[in-house]
Amino acid sequence: MTSIMVDGHEYHPTWLRDNCLCTGCRHATSFEKIVDLSTFPSSPRARSVRIENATLVVDWDEQPEHRSVFPAPWLRAHAHDDTDRRRRRPQTLWAANTWGQDEPPSHDMRRCDGMGGEWADDLERYGICFFHSVTEAELDRFATSVGPLLNTEFGDHIVVRAEPDTSDLALTARHLSPHTDFSAHMHTAPLLQFILCLQQRATGGDSIQVDGFTIANELRRASPESFDLLVRTPLGFQQFYANSRYFFRRTRPIIELDRYGDVSGVFFAHSHASGWRLAPDEVDAVYAAYNAFFAMTKDPAYQLRTRMKEGDCVAFRNGRILHGRTGFDPGSGPRTLVDVFVPYDYFDARRNYLRYADAYLPVIGVPPA
């Protein structure tokens, strides 16, 4: 069937009919699709096609008659050859010296909200952003303006401090190598993680952040074989909670790629890496690749080290950024942090809304802001 050309982009009639924007094909207020091409007796055919005021108008060869109207901005936003890969904001891979002798820029959370701004630009570009002068109440306001909080086995606010007889290594004073949280949870989606410093009076306890995408891409350059192994080999991560009677187990690759072959996810936590099911002839190669990746996470050249002050808060994409800490002496003073999580989908969905609002709101009948 002949495709329809608009502004140099090609659209198939079946695709256009399936995406008709009228209230007979879309619910008027939810904008969800209600047209069902599987009930059509034959493939859609256009009886007439014309461009009027930068708008595509298609009259279909149907009974009863049907007309579809597609504004040019909406069509451009959905052209198959104008991919999300080109539309998305460029990501900047970073290492320890990216900001030179300065610390990364810090934002005033009191002047920020979930609709975006410079903090969101930083988060999308670097996978991480920093805030100062933050209270727990301010963190709650801000995080919930991005999306609903994730309720974990520790609640929706996880207090991180050294505790006796703990069931989690994070709740000790030990050094934590760079890792992603919830790496043992099979069905936890990528998360936007907030860490707020409430008390920092102990000796030690410096924070460590590593860009997992930088590590993965550097490994791809230096050792393609190791990179490929970590992309295609499912590895086990687990957390056994004797007190609460949970045994979390996750088996999937450390490095994930999107459909374009770009690194889209890194999930790694050495303290949880256990129970791998490898054939004996796979062990040497897989451990060599794993150890190469792990060694890079510990390399100071890739580590951003900061000493958080009371009221400092860092937000990052868990699934890109690995975080850890140096060990500390709990007898020298308290060190108390609070972790809060929002599913990263909500941050991403807000960014998508802002990018595509001009294409969708006029169609729905709401003028753009």
Whether 329 shows a pLDDT value over 90: the answer reads: yes
Residues of the chain with CATH 3.30.2020.30: 4-82
Burial class of 318 by CB neighbour count within 10 A (0 to 12, 13 to 18, 19+) = buried
Mean pLDDT of the 229-243 span: 93
* The two three-digit tokens of residue 139, written as one number: 């963190």
Q: How far apart are the first and last CA of the chain?
A: 39
pLDDT in tens, 123-148: 999 999 999 999 999 999 999 999 99
The C-alpha R_g of the chain, in whole angstroms, comes to 25
* Share of residues in the chain with pLDDT > 70 (%): 96
> Which pLDDT score is estimated for 83?
58
> Which pLDDT score is estimated for 331?
95
The single-letter DSSP state of residue 212 is H
> Which pLDDT score is estimated for 165?
84
Residue 206: helix, strand or coil by DSSP? coil
> Which pLDDT score is estimated for 205?
97
> Which pLDDT score is estimated for 249?
93
Cβ neighbours around 12 below 10 Å, total: 15
Whether 1 shows a pLDDT value over 80: the answer reads: no
Whether 299 shows a pLDDT value over 60: the answer reads: yes
What contacts 88, CB < 8 A, 6 or more positions away?
A: none
* CATH class of the 106-351 domain in this structure: alpha beta
* The two three-digit tokens of residue 87, written as one number: 């539309």
Alpha carbon 34 to its chain centroid, in Å, reads 30
> Which pLDDT score is estimated for 361?
82
CATH of domain 4-82: 3.30.2020.30
Pairing of strands 203-204, 328-329: antiparallel
Residue 258: helix, strand or coil by DSSP? coil
pLDDT in tens, 19-68: 999 999 999 888 899 999 999 999 999 999 999 888 999 999 999 999 99
Q: Give the position of tokens 């995080």.
A: 143
> Which pLDDT score is estimated for 188?
83
> Which pLDDT score is estimated for 141?
97
CA distance 291 to 286: 8
The single-letter DSSP state of residue 263 is E
Whether 366 shows a pLDDT value over 70: the answer reads: no
> Which pLDDT score is estimated for 199?
96
Residues of the chain with CATH 3.60.130.10: 106-351
